[in-house]
């Protein structure tokens, strides 16, 4: 019995499973989002995040470790040059699993495994969120501060000028 044993076997021997994980993680790094079964996505997610952490380190040893796992210099180069800099300030959680529902052929639960801050995902997010709502939240704060500061500054500067010219400040206020 497999009591308290970690990881899924996925119906494969160890070499086939290792190759599957390597190929799925490489495809995720290369494309930013892959469609796979939920079980495979859950199995590959920690390995893909570990590769991104190696990319964030950026040293030669990390590059060699990533090459040993991913087995593709092109994918490793993209990981270190393009993907890892996106997550330089993020402490973890580089990927997400979005469930899609059953596959038509065999009813296997399907999911997207995607990078969180990938440009493709960011553009999709921008298309979904309305721009005026985001701008409306930020503008009133700036306008209120500007409105509060400007009348005080104008009132302070207007009074000394009026006194210097010999005019009464009340006359200017009544004309407005």
Report how far residue 176's alpha carbon sits from residue 171's, in angstroms, rounded to the nearest whole number: 9
Residue 111 and residue 37 in contact, taking contact as beta carbons nearer than 8 Å? yes
DSSP 11: T
Sequence-ordered list of residues with C-beta below 8 angstroms from that of 73, at least 6 positions apart, any chain: 67
Q: Where does the pLDDT of residue 142 fall: very low under 50, low under 70, confident under 90, or very high at 90 and above?
A: very low
Q: Is the pTM of this model over 0.85?
A: no
Q: Residue 127: its pLDDT value, please?
A: 72
Picking from 13-17, 63-67, 69-73, 117-121, which range would have the lowest pLDDT averaged per residue? Answer: 117-121
Confidence of residue 6 (pLDDT cuts 50, 70, 90): confident
**pLDDT of res. 130:** 65
The tens digit of pLDDT for each residue in 25-84 reads 999 999 999 999 999 999 999 999 999 999 999 999 999 999 999 999 999 999 999 999
């Amino acid at each position: 019995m497999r009591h308290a044993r970690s990881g899924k076997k996925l119906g494969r021997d160890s070499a086939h499973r290792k190759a599957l994980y390597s190929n799925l993680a490489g495809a995720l790094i290369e494309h930013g989002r892959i469609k796979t079964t939920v079980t495979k996505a859950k199995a590959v997610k920690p390995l893909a995040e570990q590769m991104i952490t190696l990319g964030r380190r950026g040293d030669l040893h990390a590059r060699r470790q990533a090459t040993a796992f991913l087995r593709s210099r092109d994918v490793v180069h993209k990981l270190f040059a393009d993907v890892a800099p996106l997550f330089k300030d993020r402490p973890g959680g580089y990927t997400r699993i979005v469930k899609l529902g059953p596959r038509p052929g065999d009813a296997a639960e399907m999911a997207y495994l995607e990078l969180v801050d990938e440009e493709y995902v960011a553009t999709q997010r921008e298309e979904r969120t309305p721009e005026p709502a985001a701008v409306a939240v930020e503008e009133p704060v700036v306008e209120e501060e500007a409105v509060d500061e400007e009348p005080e500054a104008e009132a302070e500067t207007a009074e000394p000028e009026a006194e210097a010219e010999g005019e009464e400040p009340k006359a200017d206020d009544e004309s407005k």
